[in-house]
């Protein structure tokens, strides 16, 4: 098993008795993936659960071939998508490669993520980067109608045609969308763009292990077989039906117990900056899955020790509404030994001969003791290495935990009705056909 749920620092916050009391609800939540599936809310979006085994092998090979072509003919890949059609790919690339991936020697293609905001500055900047470079575009949208990626795609489609002419431009567009529905599917078919499918039964925030994530990830030179293998290992481990032995069920139960004790905010923390975008992916996964019907834990995040110097004060002494989930890796990607200095001008010789990873680890130990003393319960998810297999395991573990946790909470973890509210207002304010009846009313409120 490559992930260990360490509950040592929950002492005094979550007891065996608490877990025992929640056991029937946890068992019921788990049964929604098995014998009670037909009555499970959102059961038409359970496809992610068997994906590490049941994925489309033919398409998987095509993803690898497309990635190879892009790696050969493009200096830059523009990945256009938002939310679940964006965060997973970026999180995996930055975690497995580096947060500074685009600056690393031999980073070909460089990968830029657009269509996740409406900022003209961001688009203008990346447009200027493509001026003298060969580039391709991977546009990702399940609905095919989301405004942010649609606008960015229109701009980059035009840029491709200006640079390469229509025929060659069409060979540099890769579409990931629904199998049969939506504007993007229609455009892809009409123009013979190479396209990949987002399965019907996999929702956006659960889609990183489909072509949504896999194509950009493979373009970055990351081993997608290993990523799937890690996820498959987790899937097999989490087939455990005893909720006391199933680590994802235990994590899900602990979260709900803490919530019921007034811990409304879960702060996922990691001592590795390359985890930054994984935090963002986690926030979408849990926030969009659980935040509904006036319920849910607010997912929050931090990179330590960086954020100890900005948020540390609040965590230690602010409102006691927080718990932390520390994602910890036994081995760093690489290490540095701190050298001795003859004059010890900076007073750091007490660390001479120590590895920087040891200092980082020791910081985390000091923090856990301080934060638990300050009434911040700490859950630890321990993994071995920062590699594809461990990450695939963690991704599946968090997805599974999120499903079980949402069911314990009593919501449908697989819909996102609240995301539509802002879209309707934006469309009405922009005068989109079909939304005009609300335009004046909304403008009057501004
Ligand atoms: O998880 C979700 O369903 C959302 O975050 C979507 O991924 C996001 O809104 C983008 O939607 P689409 O892929 O349809 O453009």
pLDDT of 320 reads: 98
Nearest to 208 by CA among 93, 325, 101, 102: 93
- Segment 110-148, tens digit of pLDDT: 999 999 999 999 999 999 999 999 999 999 999 998 999
pLDDT tens digits, residue range 393-422?
999 999 999 999 999 999 999 999 998 889
Residue having the nearest C-alpha atom to atom 8 of ligand 1: 83
Query: Is 288's C-beta closer than 6 angstroms to any atom of ligand 1?
Result: yes
DSSP one-letter code for 102: G
pLDDT for residue 1 is more than 80? no
DSSP run (H or E) holding 58: helix 57-73
**Catalytic-role residue among 57, 58, 309, 441:** 309
pLDDT for the residue numbered 79: 98
Question: pLDDT (tens digit, 9 = 90+) per residue, 325-370?
Answer: 999 999 999 999 999 999 999 999 999 999 999 999 999 999 999 9
Give per-residue pLDDT as tens, 36-69: 999 999 999 999 999 999 999 999 999 999 999 9
Q: How far apart are CA 253 and CA 404, in angstroms?
A: 8
**Average pLDDT score over residue span 390-394:** 98
Q: For residues 221 and 13, what is the distance between their CA atoms, to the nearest angstrom?
A: 43
Contacts of residue 167, Cβ cutoff 8 Å, sequence gap at least 6: none
- pLDDT, position 116: 98
- The sign of the dihedral angle between the CA atoms of 252, 256, 259, 264 is positive
Q: Answer yes or no: is the C-beta of 213 below 6 A from any ligand 1 atom.
A: no
When the pLDDT of each residue in the chain is averaged and rounded to a whole number, the result is 97
> How confident is the model over 2-22, as pLDDT tens digits?
899 999 999 999 999 999 999
Q: pLDDT above 90 covers what percent of the chain?
A: 98
pLDDT tens figures, 155-170: 999 999 999 999 999 9
Query: Ligand 1 centroid to 237 CA: how many Å?
Result: 29
Residue with tokens 């649609």: 150
28 among known catalytic residues: no
Q: Which of 308, 286, 399 is nearest to 33 (CA)?
A: 399
Per-residue burial over 178-201, b = 16 or more CB atoms within 10 Å of its CB, e = otherwise: beeebebbebbeeeebbbbbbbeb
The number of residues making up the chain comes to 446
Distance between CA atoms of residues 321 and 298, nearest Å: 10
Q: What are the pLDDT digits (tens) for 76-99?
A: 999 999 999 999 999 999 999 999
Residue with CA at minimum distance from ligand 1 atom 12: 141
Which residue among 81, 83, 153 is best mutated to probe the pocket of ligand 1, counting the most ligand atoms within 8 A of its Cβ?
A: 83
pTM: 0.97
**140 CA distance to ligand 1 middle (Å):** 9
């Amino acid at each position: 098993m490559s992930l260990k749920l360490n509950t040592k620092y929950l002492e005094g916050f979550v007891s065996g008795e608490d877990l025992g009391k929640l056991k029937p609800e946890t068992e019921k939540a788990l049964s929604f993936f098995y014998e009670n599936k037909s009555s499970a809310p959102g059961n038409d979006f359970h496809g992610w659960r068997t994906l590490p085994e049941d994925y489309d092998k033919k398409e998987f090979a095509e993803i690898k071939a497309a990635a190879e072509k892009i790696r050969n003919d493009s200096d830059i890949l523009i990945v256009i998508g938002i939310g679940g059609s964006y965060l997973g790919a970026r999180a995996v690339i930055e975690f497995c490669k580096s947060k500074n991936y685009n600056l690393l020697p031999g980073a070909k293609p460089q990968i830029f993520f657009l269509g996740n905001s409406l900022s003209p500055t961001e688009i203008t900047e990346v447009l200027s980067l493509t001026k003298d470079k060969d580039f391709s575009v991977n546009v990702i949208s399940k609905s095919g109608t989301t405004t942010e990626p649609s606008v960015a795609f229109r701009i980059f489609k035009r840029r491709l045609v200006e640079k390469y002419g229509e025929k060659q431009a069409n060979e540099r567009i890769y579409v990931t969308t629904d199998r049969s529905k939506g504007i993007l599917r229609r455009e892809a078919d009409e123009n013979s763009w190479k396209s990949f499918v987002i399965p019907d039964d996999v929702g956006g925030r659960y889609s990183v292990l489909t072509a949504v994530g896999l194509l950009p990830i493979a373009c970055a030179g990351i081993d997608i077989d290993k990523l799937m293998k890690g996820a498959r290992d987790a899937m097999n481990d989490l087939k455990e039906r005893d909720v006391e032995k199933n680590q994802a069920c235990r994590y899900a139960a602990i979260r709900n117990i803490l919530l019921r004790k007034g811990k409304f905010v879960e702060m996922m923390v990691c001592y590795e900056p390359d985890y930054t975008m994984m935090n963002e992916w986690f926030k979408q996964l849990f926030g969009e899955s659980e935040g509904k019907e006036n319920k849910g834990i607010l997912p929050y995040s931090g990179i330590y020790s960086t954020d100890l110097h900005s948020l540390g004060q609040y965590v230690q002494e602010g409102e006691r509404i927080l718990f932390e989930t520390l994602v910890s890796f036994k081995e760093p990607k690489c290490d540095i030994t701190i050298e001795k200095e003859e004059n010890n001008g900076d007073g750091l010789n007490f660390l001479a001969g120590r590895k920087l990873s040891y200092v980082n680890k020791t910081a985390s130990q000091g923090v856990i003791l301080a934060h638990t003393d300050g009434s911040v319960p700490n859950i630890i998810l321990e993994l071995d290495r920062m590699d594809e297999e461990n990450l695939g395991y963690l991704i599946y573990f968090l997805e599974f935990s999120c499903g079980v946790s949402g069911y314990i909470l009593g919501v449908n973890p697989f819909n996102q009705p609240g995301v539509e509210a802002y879209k309707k207002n934006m469309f009405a304010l922009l005068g989109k056909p079909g939304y005009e009846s609300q335009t004046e009313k909304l403008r009057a409120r501004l």
